[in-house]
Amino acid sequence: MYKCLIILLFLQTAYTARAQFNDTTNYHVIYNSTGSVNRARDGNAYLLNNGLRFEVKKKSVAFNATNSWVYGKFNGDLTNNDFSSSIDFNLYKAIPHAYYWGLVNYNTSYSLKINKQLLAGGGIAYSIYDRPNAYLNVSNGILYDLSDINTNDTTREVYNTYRNSFRVQLHFVIGNLITLDSGNFLQNSLNRKGDYILRSTFGLGFKISNWLNLNSNLSYNKISRTQSENLLLTYGLKVEKYF
């Protein structure tokens, strides 16, 4: 049911976006492939992180579709099999340096004990600092969370809640060669004390050509409801194309 809903929403939004945008629209495709491998006397470990993002943007609106998959093993045992798919949009018709946002996000995560999770909602964002090569942005909104999780090794729980979603995001480009990106989310349940989601990412990229970058990424995720967390450090290549 979750996957069917995501596919239907994606097709509906993609069709609407195609009909709405004209020749002045900018398109951007990004593919990330990063990973790490460790072979030692005491064991073997590897981690693969793949992501695909499609962006459509014009002056008044932006549409983004993102898919990511993290897979890893340690000494033959599964450590990560984490999938995320999201659709989001921004409407730039609010006060100066502010915009409205909407989001639909579907997740599964072996490492965080999430069998299925659907997040949907919206809010408003404001850019404290806003330049072509640098910005600092904060946002807040409300998300509906429908989750199927494992609270421990033997207990499975299906529940729903509304969450306040607060985000701080920054982006800097140095000399058109080095890129710094960071996104930090705190999503507290509005009716469940102690129920929160914490996500933090930091990315560093070095430009090799107009379409190829050497990229590294550090991400931390914590789900209080499942008492699970992960810390991922990956590195590899990012391919991007504007058209």
pTM for the whole structure: 0.84
3-class SS of residue 211: coil
Quote the CA–CA distance of 133 and 58 in Å, as a whole number: 17
Query: Token digits for 124?
Result: 């408003």
Find the domain containing 206 and state its range: 2-242
* Sequence letter at residue 172: F
Closest CA to 226 of 163, 176, 157: 157
Tell me how many domains the chain contains. Answer: 1
Q: What is the pLDDT along the chain (243 residues), one digit of tens a residue?
A: 444 444 444 444 444 444 344 457 899 999 998 888 878 877 888 899 999 999 999 888 999 999 999 999 999 999 999 999 999 999 987 678 899 999 999 999 999 999 999 999 999 999 999 898 999 999 999 999 999 999 887 899 999 999 999 999 999 999 989 999 999 999 999 999 999 999 999 999 999 998 999 999 899 999 999 999 999 988 899 998 888
3-class SS of residue 12: helix
Q: What is the CATH number of the domain that holds 92?
A: 2.40.128.130
75 — phi, psi (to 5°)? 50, 40
End-to-end CA distance of the chain: 34
Closest CA to 222 of 194, 181, 190, 180: 194
195 — phi, psi (to 5°)? -100, 110
Quote the CA–CA distance of 147 and 151 in Å, as a whole number: 11
